[in-house]
Structure 1
């Protein structure tokens, strides 16, 4: 089972995206567990729990280096366009390319 987190400022705005990504994982028979975390909780989480990927929404792209320092998982910046349009298909494709 792959472990992925989607990180946003408060961990709330990504709930719809996480739901869509989990649905796509299930539809495509991918064993991926995806959940959302706030910026600070996410940093602590990846220090304690191995993750395969961290998806950073546009508001926190500036935290990329901080996440890269504390995890061995891939850190992916979700594009502004994909996030604003909730393009879960595109984001799911990007995720599959890195895990």
Structure 2
């Protein structure tokens, strides 16, 4: 099972995105554990738990270095366009490519 977190400033706005990503993972028969965290929770989480990928929403792209230093997982920056349009297909495709 691949452990993935989606991180945003407060951890609230990503709930719809996480739901859509879980649906896509289920449709593709992919084994993912996908959850959302706020910035501080996410940073502590990656220090304590192994993660395969961290998806950062545009508002916190500036935290990429901190997450990269705290985790061995892939750090992916969700584009402004994909996030604003909730383009879960594009985001899921990028996630799969990064973890292939």
When the two structures are superposed, what TM-score results if normalisation uses the length of structure 2? 0.98
Q: Does the residue aligned with 2:76 lie in a helix, a strand or coil?
A: strand
Aligned to 1:97: 97
Q: Does the residue aligned with 1:72 lie in a helix, a strand or coil?
A: coil
Q: In the aligned structure 2, how far is the partner of 1:98 from the partner of 1:89?
A: 14
Following superposition, the deviation at residue 8 of structure 1 comes to 0.1
Q: Does the residue aligned with 1:76 lie in a helix, a strand or coil?
A: strand
Q: In the aligned structure 1, how far is the partner of 2:7 from the partner of 2:60?
A: 8
Aligned to 1:74: 74
Q: Where does the alignment leave 5 or more consecutive residues of structure 1 unmatched?
A: none
Aligned to 1:12: 12
Q: Does the residue aligned with 1:54 lie in a helix, a strand or coil?
A: strand
Following superposition, the deviation at residue 95 of structure 1 comes to 0.2
> Aligned pairs, how many?
99
CA RMSD, 1 decimal: 0.3
When the two structures are superposed, what TM-score results if normalisation uses the length of structure 1? 0.99
